[in-house]
Amino acid sequence: MDATVSKRWLLARLYEPEQTIIDCRFTLGKPDAGRESYEQEHIPGAVYLDLEMDLSSPVGEHGGRHPLPDPQVLAARLSKLGIGNDSRIVAYDDESGMNAARLWWLLRYLGHEQVFILEGGFSQWKAEKFPVTNHQPVRVPSSFVPNVQPQMLADVEEVRQVSEKTANVGGDASSSPSTRIVLIDSRANDRYQGMNETLDKKAGHIPGAVNYFWKDTQHADGSYKSAEELEAHFAGLDKDREIIVYCGSGVTACPNVLALEKAGYKKVRLYAGSWSDWISYGYNPIATGDEEKPINL
């Protein structure tokens, strides 16, 4: 089954007991806005998880602006919300799916595959006259036991090595494609090129990374493009190559991970600390401008 579900699909299953709906709305710079919006109205039965309080750990010297939460801490939070290993989870937000995708990725990182993202988010749900409520459900605690999948992650040391190799290789066609890993920067192109940085202390990108803006994986209405459309979007990337995806803080990279997997790419990992972690090491190099995307390598 696809990682995304339609509004009518969810409506038909709204009250199934094995399902938990999770509201992930969050606004950067307004940390209380998401919870306040949830308390005002949400999809019936939905519980709330906060990007910074629940889906991230406290910010430190390294790890980026949204460090990954401790698996046991997140598992305890899920258990308290009545989510177990057999639960089916549908996540939504109002930010083009980026926070819902963060939860989607995190749950899969904890070994939970039954997790989906609602196409279009809350505003479209409400605009199409589907039911909303301000009632907060009472949840019976369950037991969520994490089965962490470390192979889904890339750390800063590996990204540093990949960057060095990619920058040194450049466009050398004699290098072996099987030994080369593609770095994908998911941010808007102006931030990638270092022309406009409003969130992090330094501008630019990791040397050797190519730019695929995460919102380009979606239609104007916020729905994900089809597998065929996404294959065309990522055309030139060999499906046998390993891919490491990053963004500013490890959140908007997640929709790109989802889109790549939907397009048939199987070797996709997340650099969770992303750009904000990379620049926390003063000796890491920074590139600006554009870099040529691979073509059938």
The residues annotated as belonging to the active site are 247
Cβ neighbors of 34 (< 8 A, separation 6 or more) are 23, 24, 25, 26, 27, 48, 50, 51, 93, 99
46 within 8 A of 118, measured Cβ to Cβ: no
Token duo for residue 77: 């939070």
Rounded Cα distance, 220 and 218, in Å: 7
Rounded Cα distance, 24 and 21, in Å: 10
Residue type, 47: V
193-95-89-186 Cα dihedral, nearest 10 degrees: -10
186 within 8 A of 260, measured Cβ to Cβ: no
Nearest 5°: phi and psi at 89? -115, 135
Residue type, 112: H
217 within 8 A of 233, measured Cβ to Cβ: yes
Token duo for residue 162: 């990949």
| Terminal alpha carbon distance of the chain | 29
What's the Cα-to-Cα distance from 1 to each of 31, 113, 174, rounded to whole Å? 33, 11, 39
Residue type, 288: T
